[in-house]
């Protein structure tokens, strides 16, 4: 039987060969100035915003939806075919165009009318940088959106090939963008590590990951009145992954710790997980009656599904991997806001400095250190109610969308209404 490590390697190899093979063809077509097939509606001469990413983050779909709903903007998404997650897309995109490599992306960009503005989404910056280099010289402003800043997580001196290729693009986008959107203080550390002086930094908007007002779950009966059920929604990794990098999402020890206390633990894996990383969890859920591994759920349905449990959990601790302390300190994650949308109080690692600060500032749960996980059951039963319903309203993206639109206008110098 093929191992999980081999399956991951074959998946990456398949994607790499497909991308490289198609790039050779698209480079020739680009040189011959032959346009790609683009839906006629995408080529309409109607002012639009262009969102570009390699891996579609859920926040991009949320932002597009509320920008379009607030002022009627027309938004086109360009995403790599291997990174497009339909569950993360939304009705906010007028068109979704998938590219297969950098040359194909350039061909599509040349086939489209000039957008008002390009909004590029990291953590991977290679393809957004292609869009920046293509359109900035034509006078199109470029905004770089950073949730995960790779130089903060891994440092500037890296060995993996993909990081050596990515970091120059990340730095170029951070230094050359007309604007930058930050979800935490993490980009400040990135500027420092890249040696980008304060005077050379682009105008920055602090725009945290917000709750989606459309996703607020109604009150539903809990799954049990006698037993406590915790839930985690997000990425998972199999035992074949290197714990130096993936230890915080290898949940086998956590499953044993929680279920050993009589607690139920549910995992809803991200739609981005590949098959090799979920198989062990599926098998474990069949043998452990208190561990439950579910199928991925689209963002618009997730809060309603999570609402039937008692607590959401963010169990990322510095002892479990060799990820940088800065990553844990500054990291933001959408799952925190998914729990709030569901009306769940939250258990959060104190090593997640920024996220635990949010939870405790808004009285939405409590923080703890790794050694306290062994007595979590007692803590849950004695903890008072959290003020989650008030928090999710205060942190809703509906009101915040106005700030994003004002920022767009400040970068372009013109209104954004379509």
pLDDT digits (tens, 9 = 90+) for 235-248: 999 999 989 888 99
Average pLDDT, integer, range 366-376: 96
pLDDT digits (tens, 9 = 90+) for 333-350: 999 999 999 999 999 999
pLDDT digits (tens, 9 = 90+) for 392-401: 989 999 999 9
pLDDT digits (tens, 9 = 90+) for 119-164: 999 989 999 999 999 999 999 999 999 988 999 988 888 888 889 9
> Are residue 368 and residue 309 in the same domain, yes or no?
yes
> Are residue 147 and residue 127 in the same domain, yes or no?
yes
pLDDT digits (tens, 9 = 90+) for 379-392: 997 665 567 888 89
> Are residue 53 and residue 174 in the same domain, yes or no?
yes
> Are residue 164 and residue 33 in the same domain, yes or no?
yes
Residue at 218 is within a domain: yes
Residue at 123 is within a domain: yes
> Are residue 228 and residue 169 in the same domain, yes or no?
no
> Are residue 142 and residue 191 in the same domain, yes or no?
yes
> Are residue 257 and residue 199 in the same domain, yes or no?
no
> Are residue 165 and residue 188 in the same domain, yes or no?
yes
Residue 273's contacts (CB-CB under 8 Å, 6 or more residues apart) are: 235, 236, 296
* pLDDT for res 234: 95
Query: What pLDDT band is residue 326 in, cutting at 50, 70 and 90?
Result: confident
- As for how many domains the chain has, the answer is 2
* pLDDT for res 418: 34
CATH number of domain containing 143 = 3.40.50.2000
> Are residue 66 and residue 132 in the same domain, yes or no?
yes
> Are residue 246 and residue 365 in the same domain, yes or no?
yes
**Alpha-carbon gap, residue 182 to 141, rounded angstroms:** 17
- The chain-wide mean pLDDT, for the chain, equals 92
Residue at 10 is within a domain: no
**Residue 54 above 70 pLDDT?**
yes
* pLDDT for res 417: 38
* pLDDT for res 181: 97
> Are residue 222 and residue 191 in the same domain, yes or no?
no
Residue at 9 is within a domain: no
pTM summary value: 0.90
Residue at 5 is within a domain: no
**Residue 415 above 60 pLDDT?**
no
Residue at 3 is within a domain: no
Residue-range definition of the domain harbouring residue 329: 214-394
Average pLDDT, integer, range 243-256: 93
Residue at 408 is within a domain: yes
> Are residue 204 and residue 272 in the same domain, yes or no?
no
Residue at 193 is within a domain: yes
* pLDDT for res 4: 67
């Amino acid at each position: 039987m093929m191992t999980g490590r081999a399956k991951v390697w074959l998946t990456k190899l398949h994607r790499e060969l497909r991308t490289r093979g198609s790039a050779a063809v698209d480079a020739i077509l680009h040189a011959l100035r032959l346009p790609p097939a683009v839906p006629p509606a995408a080529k309409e001469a109607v002012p639009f915003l262009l969102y570009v990413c390699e891996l579609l983050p859920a926040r991009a779909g949320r932002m597009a939806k509320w920008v379009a709903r607030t002022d009627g903007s027309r938004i086109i998404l360009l995403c790599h075919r291997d990174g497009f997650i339909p569950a993360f897309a939304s009705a906010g995109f007028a068109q979704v165009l998938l590219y297969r490599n950098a040359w194909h992306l350039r061909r599509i960009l040349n086939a489209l009318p000039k957008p008002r503005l390009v909004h590029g989404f990291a953590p991977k910056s290679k393809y957004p940088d292609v869009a920046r280099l293509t359109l900035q010289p034509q006078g199109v402003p470029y905004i770089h959106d950073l949730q995960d800043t790779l130089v903060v997580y891994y440092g500037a001196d890296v060995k993996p090939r993909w990081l050596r290729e990515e970091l120059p693009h990340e730095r170029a986008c951070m230094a050359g963008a007309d604007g930058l959107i930050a979800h935490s203080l993490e980009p400040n550390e990135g500027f420092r590590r890249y040696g980008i002086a304060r005077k050379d930094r682009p105008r920055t908007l602090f725009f945290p990951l917000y709750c989606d007002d459309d996703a607020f779950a109604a009150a539903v009966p809990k799954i049990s009145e006698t037993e406590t059920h915790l839930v985690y929604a997000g990425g998972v990794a199999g035992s074949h992954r290197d714990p130096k990098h993936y230890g915080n999402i290898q949940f086998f020890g956590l499953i044993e710790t929680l279920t050993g206390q009589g607690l139920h633990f549910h995992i809803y894996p991200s739609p981005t997980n590949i098959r090799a990383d979920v198989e062990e969890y599926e098998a474990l859920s069949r043998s452990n009656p208190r561990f439950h591994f579910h199928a991925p759920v689209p963002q618009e349905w997730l809060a309603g599904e999570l609402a039937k449990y008692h607590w959401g959990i963010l169990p990322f601790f510095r002892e479990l991997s060799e990820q940088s302390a800065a990553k844990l300190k500054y990291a933001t994650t959408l799952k925190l806001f998914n729990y709030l949308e569901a009306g769940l109080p939250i258990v959060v690692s104190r090593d997640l400095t920024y996220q635990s600060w949010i939870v405790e500032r808004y009285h939405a749960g409590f923080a703890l250190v790794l050694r306290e996980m062994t007595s979590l059951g007692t803590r849950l039963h004695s903890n008072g109610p959290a003020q989650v319903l008030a928090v999710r309203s205060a942190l809703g993206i509906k009101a915040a969308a106005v700030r994003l639109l004002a920022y767009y206008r400040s970068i372009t110098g013109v209104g954004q209404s379509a």
